[in-house]
Amino acid sequence: MINKNKPILAIKGGHPVSNVIIPIHKTYLDEEDFKAVEEAMRSTIVSGNGPACMEFEKRLSEYLGVKHVFYTNSCTTALDLAFRAKEFPPDSEVLVPNFTYTSTALGPLLNNLKVKLVDVDPDNGNIDVNKIETSISEKTVAIAPVDYAGNPADMDPIVEIAKKYNLYVVHDTAQSIGSEYKGQKTGTLAHVSTFSFHGTKNLTTGEGGALVTDDDGIAEKVIYMREKGTNKQSFLVDNKDRGYYEYVTIGNSYVQSNILGALGLSQLKKIDWMNARRAEIAEYYIEQLKDLPNIKLPKITQGAKTNWHIFYILVPPEHKYWIMDALRAEGVYANVHYTPLHRNKFYQHLGTDEELPNSMRFFSGLLRLPIYPSLTEEEMKKVVEAVRKVCG
């Protein structure tokens, strides 16, 4: 039982654990990053798809062990491209986990496809692999699993089902750079994977993303589509087109500034260190909180290694918002993210709480705690102290 009336609680007028708010997230940027950006600026090569962007793509492809990497201006545009490149008939259906960010659904919707929501594992928010087959219809063409919190979706059964029904798999790896599933990095487990380098992500270029694939056919289309439907890539790289380039297909502008490419390169150099620091923090939280009967700790997919993009606890749903307020009063910022898609006005026609019960179970207990590479030992201890004080 949670005792809400303890006078020592800051929410009841007691002393807070921390006088300064410990935020949920802080972007990690260091001198090397500042220098990389400054050098790119001083080079005056600042437009899209410049040499630093291409070098970032090359290094990222080596890091992930994947053939093609396209650095884009967001994961949302990478998801759009992933579906654009396939040209599925309008109204074809794509299976999307109900617990994800809007962008996973926007990828299909921007391409005139329909979204079918699939319920998730109530303990970790990833697509429930046992609910996929029953969601497949004649119109299903693709599935878009998501790695919530950086914890990989259970990709083996997903890929197996996809093969059985001839489905295209777009793995939304927005949150999982550096995570692994059965010894393989995320980004190598599906036809296409899409990363995010938004300011909140483990590797950041402020805004940004990447579409990665081993499929030469998809890569060939993406090369043109991300550059306004032009063959400018060849003009930039091998000059086959003798100093000019042509408008060859439909497209949009999905490229990133060379300044951000330079930032991506310097961030990539330290991604393993940044992820290892997150793992240390997560392990400390788990060790210090595992005996608390009122909360549940994150469930990691079997055979997977998470990059700890997010650390969450699952609390008794009836006390969730009180716990959130009580933690904030103690100086520890806790928050709730995401809301299940069907709980948003734009998606509410796609399902009900009764049809998607496990998304609601996961969501109704979910509270995120601070985790980022620059979190100090002292702050880690305060987070634990606050959670124990409020939930103990």
Residue-wise burial string across 380-389, b where 16 or more C-beta atoms lie within 10 A, e elsewhere: bebbbbbbeb
**Piece of 96-104, 151-159, 255-263, 283-291 that binds ligand PLP (CB under 6 A):** 96-104
Cα three-residue angle 375-378-383, rounded to 5 degrees? 75
CB of 106 to ligand PLP, least distance (A): 8
Single out the residue of 9, 95, 120, 146 in contact with ligand PLP (rule: CB under 6 A): 146
CB of 77 to ligand PLP, least distance (A): 7
Nearer to ligand PLP, 181 or 380 (CB): 181
DSSP string, 211-235: EEES-HHHHHHHHHHTBTTB-HHHH
- Site for ligand PLP contains 144 (CB under 6 A): no
Range list of H helices, 6-73: 31-43, 51-64
Nearer to ligand PLP, 24 or 295 (CB): 24
CB of 173 to ligand PLP, least distance (A): 8
**Piece of 83-91, 100-108, 357-365, 384-392 that binds ligand PLP (CB under 6 A):** 100-108
Nearer to ligand PLP, 107 or 370 (CB): 107
CB of 389 to ligand PLP, least distance (A): 30
| 3-state SS string for 149-207 | HHCCCCHHHHHHHHHHHCCEEEEECCCCCCCEECCEECCCCCCEEEEECCCCCCCCCCC
Single out the residue of 171, 198, 277, 361 in contact with ligand PLP (rule: CB under 6 A): 198
**Coil/strand/helix, residue 320:** helix
CB of 16 to ligand PLP, least distance (A): 30
Single out the residue of 49, 61, 76, 230 in contact with ligand PLP (rule: CB under 6 A): 76
CB of 334 to ligand PLP, least distance (A): 18
Nearer to ligand PLP, 103 or 358 (CB): 103
Single out the residue of 80, 128, 154, 172 in contact with ligand PLP (rule: CB under 6 A): 172
| Residue 16: CB atoms within 10 Å | 18
Nearer to ligand PLP, 175 or 230 (CB): 175
Nearer to ligand PLP, 104 or 111 (CB): 104
Nearer to ligand PLP, 141 or 174 (CB): 174
φ, ψ dihedrals at 140, nearest 5°: -70, 130
**Piece of 57-65, 95-103, 126-134, 344-352 that binds ligand PLP (CB under 6 A):** 95-103
Q: Give the separation between CA 313 and CA 281, rounded to whole angstroms.
A: 14
Nearer to ligand PLP, 212 or 391 (CB): 212
DSSP-derived pairing of the beta strands 180-181 and 304-305: antiparallel
Single out the residue of 103, 186, 193, 267 in contact with ligand PLP (rule: CB under 6 A): 103
Q: Which residues contact 333 (CB under 8 A, 6 or more apart)?
A: 21, 22, 23, 24, 327, 370
DSSP-derived pairing of the beta strands 68-72 and 209-213: antiparallel
CA dihedral 228, 232, 234, 235 (to 10 degrees): 180
Q: What is the DSSP letter of 314?
A: E
Q: Give the separation between CA 323 and CA 390, rounded to whole angstroms.
A: 7
The token duo for 174 is 């927005």
Nearer to ligand PLP, 124 or 196 (CB): 196
The token duo for 270 is 């330290």
Nearer to ligand PLP, 199 or 217 (CB): 199
Q: Which of residues 199-228 bind ligand PLP (CB under 6 A)?
A: 209
- Site for ligand PLP contains 196 (CB under 6 A): yes
- Site for ligand PLP contains 101 (CB under 6 A): yes
- Site for ligand PLP contains 80 (CB under 6 A): no
Q: Are 392 and 2 in contact (CB under 8 A)?
A: no
Binding interface with ligand PLP (CB under 6 A): 74-76, 100-101, 103-104, 146, 172, 174-175, 196, 198, 209
